[in-house]
Amino acid sequence: TPSLLWLRRDLRLSDHPALTAAVGAGAVIPVFVLDPETEALGAAPRWRLEQSLVSFEKTLKDKGSRLIVRRGAAAQVLRDLVEQTGARAVHWSRLYDPVSKARDTAVKSSLKEMGITAQSHPGHLLREPWTVETKTGGFYKVYTPYWKAMAQLDMDAPLPAPKSIPNPQNWPDSLKISDLGLGKDMRRGASVVAEFAIVGEQEAQGRLGAFLSHGITEYASARDRTDQGGTSGLSENLTYGEIGIRAVWHAALRAREEGKPGAETFLKELVWRDFAWHLIHHTPHITDESWRPEWQSFPWRDDNDDAERWRRGLTGEPMVDAGMRQMYITGTMHNRVRMLVASYLTKHLMTHWRVGQKWFEECLIDWDPASNAMGWQWAAGSGPDASPYFRIFNPETQAEKFDPKRTYRRRFIAGYGGSKEADALKLFEAVPRSWNMTPADPYPERMVDLKAGRERALDAYQKHKAA
Ligand code: FAD
């Protein structure tokens, strides 16, 4: 009898414990379900998921297998498939955000009611969030001790891809991936972002290989330079599990053993990702509420016209606008600039971090519920181990340090310093027509005086703290 392999953010063959378990038990039916939870993702994440599914379907086909695609509530769809195929087991890789956990718990109990084995597996993280504990048996709220604990642990070695995937006698019906319409809300942006996205397992492995042979040496200093491609770019692949985190970890460990400078810093960044999932597992409110309850009542503004200018990359603050525009053109944003635009929105513009969190979810092809929530709360000062409230990034100083020759700003802002860079011009093909942006528009004046904005924020934060 076959097993169902329910795929979500694990679209790869290697380092895939759920797949390995399913193959070990016999025939495997790989299934993707477009459930309401996945349908609720933002436009760019959904589009990027479609790319990933198309690529993985081909990978499966090359192995002689298939991808069965269905739409509906996961519990019901999986029950139907169990009945249609006679499957006795369903395997999947665990996720740890509150939305996924609620769905997966319902799926588990519904399958168990039918007498079906419902087995979840690790694979999305280096360590399951409950296996990393403080000395007193609690979870970590601060990164540095978490990193120290992780650095002491042995991480499982990545599993090899199965040699073959046994087929069932009969395949159930399937929709086509294109029937799901996952890309439809990206509209104009899709063809622009597609030029930058690097999709699929093989490509992700190539990207890791290239980074290990070139980028990792300079990583410690280059990772903050917005004008250099100094980072791995792997987040878009990790978010859909096109590459296993344990494979990346062990490759970086080997680089450290070979004495490659930068490897240690890279390992630390990988641990930030696990830390985000550790936090979302133990404190699921991080996605919706200020993590520190005292910040729940902070008078951040709801969505507003200034925030709309921020979204459009029209604040007149070049480093901020370059970041926002990079996101529409490429689907990602440099980490240093993510911190900067988040600080600018929550502090200089005194706008709620949730407004920014939501917009990133709409626009990032590497959107991840855990890292995004943690990043926003870090910038706003409301999270665990957050940037202190008085740390207000100065976009000008940041630009001098991390984009000294204005390369990054010119690359993404047409008209800035006379820029006619090809990438900057792509913005006008990517953003909604209703924004009425054209290359002929003059670059706007600064919307907020940096000093006044900083003082206004400091004043509000100090008052709130005193109260
Ligand atoms: P590299 O520098 O090559 O790092 C390697 C990997 O380490 C990354 O792919 C990522 O998996 C992990 N990593 C690195 N930095 C962080 C970090 N600060 N937090 C968590 N993991 C990290 N990352 C996402 O993947 N999805 C998001 O939705 C997301 N939203 C963010 C929002 C804000 C406000 C901020 C400040 C950061 C956010 N990040 C998010 C974290 C970080 O910006 C990206 O992971 C990073 O820019 C990805 O580029 P890279 O793969 O080249 O990273």
Q: What pairs with residue 91 in β-bridges?
A: 5, 119
Sheet containing strand 28-34, edge to edge, reads: 68-71, 28-34, 3-7, 89-93, 117-121
**pLDDT tens string 45-77:** 999 999 999 999 999 999 999 999 999 999 999
The residue whose CA has the least distance to atom 50 of ligand 1 is: 233
The dihedral built from the CA positions of residue 225, 229, 185 and 48, taken in this order, carries a sign that is: negative
Determine the Cα angle at 28 with ends 170 and 32, to 5°: 95
pLDDT given at position 386: 76
Question: Which ligand 1 atom is nearest residue 356's CA?
Answer: 34
Distance CA 351, CA 307 (A): 7
Task: Please name which of 22, 399, 269, 131 lies closest in space to residue 6, comparing C-alpha atoms.
Answer: 22
pLDDT for 269 beyond 80: yes
Pair 126, 253: CB distance under 8 Å: no
CB 394 within 8 A of CB 451: no
- CB 372 near ligand 1, within 6 Å: yes
Instruction: Write down how long the chain is.
Output: 467
Residue 27 clears pLDDT 80, i.e. is over it? yes
Is there an atom of ligand 1 within 6 Å of 20 CB?
no
Ligand 1 and 387: CB distance under 6 A:
no
For residues 318 and 406, what is the distance between their CA atoms, to the nearest angstrom? 9
Write the CB contacts of 208 (distance below 8 Å, at least 6 apart in sequence): 232, 234, 243, 247, 248, 251
- CB distance 276 to ligand 1 below 6 Å: yes
Query: Rounded to an integer, what distance in angstroms lies between the CA atom of residue 224 and that of residue 262?
Result: 12
Q: Ligand 1 pocket test: which of 240, 245, 267, 269 has the largest number of ligand atoms within 8 Å of its C-beta?
A: 269
State the pLDDT confidence band at 387, using cuts at 50, 70 and 90.
confident
Question: In sequence order, what are the beta bridge partners of 117?
Answer: 89
**Looking at residues 184-193, what average pLDDT do you find?**
92
Angle at 211 between CA 274 and CA 263, to 5 degrees: 55
Strands 3-7 and 28-34: parallel
The per-residue b/e assignment along 369-396, b for 16 or more CB within 10 angstroms, e otherwise, is: bbbbbbbbbbbbbbbbbbbebeebbbbe
Q: Quick one: fold of 293-466?
A: DNA Cyclobutane Dipyrimidine Photolyase, subunit A; domain 3 (1.10.579)
pLDDT at 259 over 80: yes
In angstroms, the Cα distances linking 369 to 37, 97, 166 are 12, 7, 34
Pairing of strands 68-71, 89-93: unpaired
**Angle at 279 (CA atoms; ends 388, 362), nearest 5 degrees:** 85
CB 261 within 8 A of CB 253: no
Could you tell me which residues are beta bridge partners of residue 71?
34
Q: Judge: domain 125-157+190-282, CATH 3.40.1390.10.
A: no
User: What residue type is 117 in one-letter code?
Assistant: T
Distance CA 238, CA 95 (A): 13
- Over residues 315-335, the mean pLDDT reads 98
By DSSP bridging, strand 89-93 and strand 117-121 are parallel
Indicate if the pLDDT at residue 166 is higher than 90.
yes
Question: Which one of 264, 274, 335, 337 would you pick to mutate in the ligand 1 pocket, going by the greatest count of ligand atoms within 8 A of its CB?
Answer: 335
SS3 90: strand
Whether the CA torsion 225, 227, 228, 230 is positive or negative: it is positive
According to DSSP, residue 167 is labeled: P
Residue 467 has pLDDT above 90, yes or no: no
pLDDT for residue 391 = 86
What is the pLDDT at residue 125? 98
Q: For residue 28, what pLDDT is reported?
A: 98
**Token couple for 276:** 């985000």
**3-state helix vs strand vs coil in the chain, percent to 5:** 55, 5, 40
Q: Give the nearest ligand 1 atom to 232 CA.
A: 3
Residue 330 CB less than 6 A away from ligand 1: no
Structure tokens at 318: 């070049």
What pLDDT sits at residue 232?
97
Other C-beta atoms closer than 10 Å to the C-beta of 236 total 26
Share of the chain above pLDDT 90, in %: 96
Q: Is 421 in the pocket of ligand 1 (CB under 6 A)?
A: no
Domain boundaries defined on the chain: 1-122, 125-157+190-282, 293-466
For the Cβ of 233 lying below 6 angstroms from any atom of ligand 1, the answer is yes
Q: Check if 335 has its Cβ closer than 6 Å to any atom of ligand 1.
A: yes
What sign for the dihedral angle of Cα 458, 463, 464, 466?
A: positive
Check if 204 has its Cβ closer than 6 Å to any atom of ligand 1.
Answer: no
Percent of the chain exceeding pLDDT 70 equals 100
Residue 117's SS3 state is: strand
Confidence category of residue 187, pLDDT binned at 50, 70, 90: confident
pLDDT per position as a tens digit, 200-238:
999 999 999 999 998 899 999 999 999 988 999 999 999
Site to substitute for ligand 1 among 249, 320, 343, 371, most atoms within 8 A of C-beta: 371
Distance 233 CA to ligand 1 centre (A): 9
Q: Which residue owns the Cα nearest ligand 1 atom 13?
A: 269
The fold of 1-122 is Rossmann fold (3.40.50)
- pLDDT category, 280, cuts 50, 70, 90? very high
